[in-house]
Copies of this chain bind each other. A is one copy, B any other.
């Protein structure tokens, strides 16, 4: 934790001090609210908790998706780094499997992450919101290509499909107790199939 999650000045000059402070307050409140209530947490409540007018929240984060992106940027970057790491140190098949499992684990631990990952795909304009989605897509693409070259995965499997599956599993198990083990079981099922036999990919 403790990642200095601050990327508030995409425009020319640096932000005003108060604006930056508000940005960070909102981000902190959002992080907590999303952890507590999931991706559908009330924006109004987040603004209230941050001690800020709702207009300020909407100015800094034009859409719910933008806020979620900011909240989870650190996690997503960690996931991408982990992908690079696994690709370099593990054998291709295991690397992909381990990474997908890591994605599920993160998604189960951090409510709203899965939603944030998929929403980037279709919801909202592609220029702004899709960063998390594309980041993780690119990271996974490398891993998948490697596994495919090694003959560990079918050639008709795309990274988009795998991530959709992973997000779907995470969202389906979100909320119920014991969701973590359930999500793990479902991932195992999806990767190894329902047939009897040795599961070669964790």
> Contact residues of A with B, CB < 8 Å?
118, 122, 151-157, 161-162, 164-165, 167-169, 171-173, 175-176, 182, 185-186, 189-197, 199-201
CB closest chain-B residue, reference A158: B185
Give complex CA distance A146, B175 in Å.
31
A165 and B152 form a contact (CB under 8 A): no
B190 and A165 form a contact (CB under 8 A): yes
B172 and A118 form a contact (CB under 8 A): yes
Given contacts A122-B175, A122-B176, A176-B122, whether A194 and B164 have CB atoms under 8 Å apart is no
B165 and A189 form a contact (CB under 8 A): yes
CB closest chain-B residue, reference A148: B196
Give complex CA distance A164, B118 in Å.
18
Residues of B within 8 A of A157 (CB): 189, 194
Residues of B within 8 A of A192 (CB): 193-195
Residues of B within 8 A of A197 (CB): 154
A193 and B196 form a contact (CB under 8 A): no
* Cross-interface CB contact of A194 among B122, B162, B182, cutoff 8 Å: B162
Give complex CA distance A118, B169 in Å.
12
Given contacts A172-B118, A175-B122, A190-B190, whether A195 and B164 have CB atoms under 8 Å apart is no
Given contacts A195-B201, A196-B153, whether A161 and B175 have CB atoms under 8 Å apart is no
B171 and A189 form a contact (CB under 8 A): no
* Cross-interface CB contact of A186 among B118, B155, B161, B182, cutoff 8 Å: B161
B122 and A154 form a contact (CB under 8 A): no
A185 and B169 form a contact (CB under 8 A): no
B161 and A168 form a contact (CB under 8 A): no
A81 to chain B, nearest CB (A): 23
Residues of B within 8 A of A186 (CB): 161, 164-165, 168
B167 and A172 form a contact (CB under 8 A): yes
Given contacts A175-B122, A176-B122, whether A195 and B154 have CB atoms under 8 Å apart is yes
